[in-house]
Structure 1
Amino acid sequence: MLSHNLLVNTGNILSLSEARQKASQNSTDELIETLKIILNDNQNKGDGTIVINGKEDTSLQDVDRKDLKITVKVFISSPDVHSLKEALDQTFKTLNTNVIESLVIAYKSDEEPENMLSSLKKIWSAVEEYIKVDKLSSVGLSDINTNIFIELFQWADIKPNIVQINLTTCCAVPPALQEFTKENDIQLLTHSDSYEILPQEMLEGIFGSTAHLRWLIRYQIHLKCRGILSSKGYLLYINKSSFKI
């Protein structure tokens, strides 16, 4: 069996006129449309990592880094620390930065609560390593059960200061979470991302039936002084395998 890894860097999707014309679409539709635009049929076969890049972003080349704010959301479905670090390291490299101002982790799992907490502790321990060397500023979690979030917060050496909830599936902020975030000066944010930003059937429709998504990053870069979104893009790491006859 041959296998290869595929790293997809969409580049700044704000520069894609086809994507801009569909600004009202949700995050999954936006991602699918973007992948269709930048992907081509010239994917190499064999071992190793294949890199597919979108249009190079030159819009921020002359902007001082201190004038930018980078926010990142990482979508993972495994507590594998290596994959998380791989995602973060690739993001630093791609964005040519030593620091990310805001990071939100979306960990999708159907684990039982006690297993979920154990997995999140593994993930958070890895995140703390980056915080301790000043590579991450504000960090938090998305769509997490209130009790699990509180337990993780109380356990953590470095406390999460962001929690993000989806108001399309939760019509109101849980009162206990609202009270806890207020008491502990935690930023309570909302979002409208799908529970699974790139469902397996859509992944296979684009990359083939043997494709497996290891991690996915969405980044946004704002100009601080004007609050303008200057760049937005996705990074995906996919494993593919095929039988050799």
Structure 2
Amino acid sequence: MVSRSLLISTGNILSFNEVKKKAGQNPTDELLESLRIVLKDSQSKDDASTVLQVNRKEMHETDVDRKELKITVKIFISSPKADSLKDSLEQVFHTLHTDTIESLIIAYGKVEPSEDILKSLQSLWTVLEEYVKAGKLSSIGVSDVDTDVFIELFQWANVKPNIVQINLATCCVVPPALQVFTKENDVQLLTHSDPCQILTNDALDEFFGPGVNVHWVARYQVHVKCRGVLSSKGYLVYINKPA
């Protein structure tokens, strides 16, 4: 079957009135509302390109010096392939017209036995280490991994993860062993409300029809550090769909 890859860029969703009116949405609903806007706009233009985007004021168009900005990115990925992660990172750098990211989290969403998850994370982690050594990433971490897996990843890694995220909706209490380990090793322990699968199969069918696969989803946020203000937020979605 012939397929087509499609990169969807939402631009700065803080400028979407439809999204602002529904403040407090969960991350999936926020992403779906943003996709609705972009896809509607592209259909009205009969856009058949491989990149769909809505032109909005982005980080590089602000009057704030780059040194005054903090960029945080979370990449939801279901493949341990290094090329897939590299592609997502390069697309974020290109979109934000920057060559550095202050904080990067990877959320590996594929269901696997613990030993396989560790191997997959190690494959992805070697990519992040390359970017850290090149000065392109500052802080790197993972989301929603078992305590034992995180500790093994930490001990194996050359560049140690300094952030770990857990979802209190699925884990009502922070595991005591993880609390102790992060405190002893100066790792930021953060909570979040992101679902394990930010784009469900039902949502993909609704928006794109059957047979669509998600390579990755990247969410970025740009803060003005001195004011603590969120100036830009957006999503990049890379899918493969039947032609």
TM-score tier after normalising by the smaller chain length: over 0.9
Query: Aligned ranges for residues 112-127 of structure 1 at < 5 Å?
Result: 112-127=113-128
Report what 2:178 is aligned to: 177
State the distance in 1 between where 2:3 and 2:144 align.
33
Tell which deviates more after alignment, 53-62 or 116-125.
53-62
State the distance in 2 between where 1:210 and 1:113 align.
28
Report what 2:187 is aligned to: 186
Report the alpha carbon displacement of residue 169 of structure 1 after superposing the two structures with TM. 1.3
Report the alpha carbon displacement of residue 43 of structure 1 after superposing the two structures with TM. 4.2
TM-score norm. by structure 1 comes to: 0.94
Query: Aligned ranges for residues 54-65 of structure 1 at < 5 Å?
Result: 54-58=54-58, 60-65=61-66
Report the alpha carbon displacement of residue 210 of structure 1 after superposing the two structures with TM. 2.2
Unpaired segments ≥5 residues, structure 2:
none
**CA offsets, 1:22-53, max 9 Å, x none?**
01110000011111112132342xxxx61111
Q: Does 2:222 match 1:218?
A: no
2:129 counterpart SS class: helix
1:11 counterpart SS class: coil
The answer to whether the 8 Å contact 2:101/2:137 transfers is yes
Query: Aligned ranges for residues 81-100 of structure 1 at < 5 Å?
Result: 81-100=82-101
State the distance in 1 between where 2:229 and 2:168 align.
24
Report the alpha carbon displacement of residue 63 of structure 1 after superposing the two structures with TM. 1.3
State, as a whole percentage, how many aligned pairs show the same letter. Answer: 58
The aligned length equals 238
Report the alpha carbon displacement of residue 2 of structure 1 after superposing the two structures with TM. 2.9
Tell which deviates more after alignment, 60-69 or 4-13.
60-69
Report the alpha carbon displacement of residue 109 of structure 1 after superposing the two structures with TM. 1.6
**Quick one: which amino acid aligns to residue 23 of structure 1?**
A
Runs of 4+ deviating beyond 3 Å: none
TM-score norm. by structure 2 comes to: 0.95
1:152 counterpart SS class: helix
Unpaired segments ≥5 residues, structure 1:
none
Report what 2:200 is aligned to: 199
2:135 counterpart SS class: coil
**CA offsets, 1:33-79, max 9 Å, x none?**
111112132342xxxx6111113215643210000000000000110
Report what 2:12 is aligned to: 12
**Quick one: which amino acid aligns to residue 123 of structure 2?**
K
1:172 counterpart SS class: coil
Report the alpha carbon displacement of residue 118 of structure 1 after superposing the two structures with TM. 0.8
Q: Does 2:241 match 1:240?
A: yes
**CA offsets, 1:82-108, max 9 Å, x none?**
100000011001100010000010001
**CA offsets, 1:150-199, max 9 Å, x none?**
00100001100000000111111100000000000000111001121111
State the distance in 2 between where 1:109 and 1:38 align.
27
State the distance in 2 between where 1:58 and 1:198 align.
24
State the distance in 2 between where 1:132 and 1:141 align.
18
State the distance in 2 between where 1:89 and 1:37 align.
24
State the distance in 2 between where 1:114 and 1:169 align.
21
State the distance in 1 between where 2:111 and 2:56 align.
37
Tell which deviates more after alignment, 204-213 or 18-27.
204-213
**Quick one: which amino acid aligns to residue 187 of structure 1?**
Q
Give RMSD over aligned pairs.
1.2
2:54 counterpart SS class: strand
State the distance in 2 between where 1:194 and 1:221 align.
22
C-alpha distance 58-76 of structure 1, shift in aligned 2 (>3 A): closer
